[in-house]
Amino acid sequence: MKYLYDAGTEDGKKLLLLHGTGGDETSLVDIARFLDGGCEILSFRGEVKEDGMNRFFKRNGLNQFDLDSLEEETDKLYEEIKQISAEKNVPLSDWILVGYSNGANIAAHLLLERETELTQGLFFHPMSLGVHEKQFSLKEKRIWLSFGQGDPIVTLESFNELAASFEQRGADLTIKQTSQGHQLSAEEVNHARNWLHHIPL
Ligand code: MLT
């Protein structure tokens, strides 16, 4: 997979970025640097094309997810993460997955459906993909999710289903709701920054 890597400073957080539909490996870089100025960045470009737009897995229309593609691409992504982490000498447990929309969806799926040493996730505007195969404990995971009450794509029901998947399996879950839509807002990004730096919310 195509990716961007920046070593950042020695004490920077290690942020693994996954863009939304139509984005690329550069889309979340400014947000990442806002979240943590000296962050180490590993940012992937989704390999699935939809009318020229990059995505991390196929869909057959809005919110009509291709679950075979989802599983296949999740495995591919995880293999890439493991390989590059080994090359860069980063323990998997040090990464904080940072995803927006489609990138958040595949990242959440990776944490929910694969037993990995990845432990932290910061997911902007994710939703449930309706897959609930695994039941292993998530009590080592620290997860932050955002939801926009005016989101035309992510319903409250779908967001709540995703949040429950993490919560019921023991994850340490933080939720930030705003009155906004599907786009990133300054309010949620500031909240995410405080969560990342363990500042009481
Ligand atoms: C998107 O437009 O990216 C959707 O909201 C999320 C997805 O398709 O995974």
Q: Is 158 in the pocket of ligand 1 (CB under 6 A)?
A: no
DSSP code string of 81-133: HHHHHHHHT--GGGEEEEEETHHHHHHHHHHHHS--S--EEEEES----S---
Q: Is 153 in the pocket of ligand 1 (CB under 6 A)?
A: yes
Q: Is the residue at 107 inside a domain?
A: yes
Residue 201 predicted with pLDDT over 90: no
199 pLDDT tier (thresholds 50, 70, 90): confident
Catalytically annotated residues? 101, 151, 182
Q: Is 54 in the pocket of ligand 1 (CB under 6 A)?
A: no
Q: Token pair of 111, please?
A: 């944490």
pLDDT at residue 149, rounded to an integer: 98
Mean pLDDT computed over 49-59: 98
Q: Is 141 in the pocket of ligand 1 (CB under 6 A)?
A: no
Q: Is the residue at 38 inside a domain?
A: yes
Q: Is the residue at 201 inside a domain?
A: no
What percentage of the chain exceeds 90 in pLDDT?
A: 98
Taking the CA of residue 55 as reference, the ligand 1 atom at the shortest distance is: 3
Q: Is the residue at 192 inside a domain?
A: yes
Q: What distance in angstroms lies between residue 104's CA and the mean position of ligand 1's atoms?
A: 9
Mean pLDDT computed over 174-194: 98
User: Which has the higher per-residue pLDDT, 63 or 200?
Assistant: 63
Mean pLDDT computed over 145-174: 98
Q: Is 19 in the pocket of ligand 1 (CB under 6 A)?
A: no
CATH number for 95: 3.40.50.1820
Q: Is the residue at 150 inside a domain?
A: yes
pLDDT at residue 170, rounded to an integer: 98
User: Which of 153, 159, 183 for mutating ligand 1's site (highest number of atoms within 8 Å of CB)?
Assistant: 153
What percentage of the chain exceeds 70 in pLDDT?
A: 100
Q: Whose CA is nearest to atom 1 of ligand 1?
A: 102
Domain count, the chain: 1
Instruction: Provide the residue type at 29 as one letter.
Output: V
User: What burial class does residue 51 get, using C-beta atoms within 10 Å of its C-beta: 0-12 exposed, 13-18 middle, 19+ buried?
Assistant: exposed
Q: What distance in angstroms lies between residue 62's CA and the mean position of ligand 1's atoms?
A: 7
Q: Taking a C-beta distance cutoff of 8 angstroms, is the pair 198, 35 a contact?
A: no
| Domain enclosing residue 44, as ranges | 3-196
Residue 107 predicted with pLDDT over 90: yes
Mean pLDDT computed over 19-38: 98
Mean pLDDT of the chain: 97
pLDDT at residue 132, rounded to an integer: 97
Q: Is the residue at 138 inside a domain?
A: yes
